[in-house]
Amino acid sequence: MTAQKFVYNLLIRESHLDTFGHVNNATYLEILEEARWDIITPRGYGIPEIKAKQFGPVILKFEMTFMKELTLRQEIRVETEMLSYTKKIGVMQQNIFNAANELCFESKLVLGLMDMQARKLVLPTPEWLHAIGME
């Protein structure tokens, strides 16, 4: 199974900053989530589909490393790619690069697909695998 790499571009805005003048650590999680929704929604797994199917993504673990600060009006690129999916558990990598193509932030997250009625993880469906770029 091969994984597709996705790119999400963003301009750092005033609302992203903390009192130190750089992106707040919690805001990184929001940016990464925005990038993930930007991947799965156009690939047929947005909120309407999740509500209809009653199967949705859940994050089980998150590892982050901050390498270079992101500051006001910087253009950044979020690269997202699935590294693996074994049984019910997937591993995704999301990295942020600045306009100079310097790696500023790296993360790895463990995720799964949850049956929202049974409240438990399930094996990934073909629709879910397509949505996250695992063909």
For 62-112, the pLDDT digits (tens) are 999 999 999 999 999 999 999 999 999 999 999 999 999 999 999 999 999
The pTM (predicted TM-score) of the whole model is 0.95
Which residues touch 2 (CB under 8 Å, ≥6 apart)?
134, 135
Give the type of residue at 70.
Answer: L
pLDDT, residue 125, reads 97
C-alpha distances in angstroms, 106 versus 1, 11, 79?
23, 18, 10
pLDDT digits (tens, 9 = 90+) for 51-71: 999 999 999 999 999 999 999
Q: Which residue has the tokens 């690939």?
A: 43
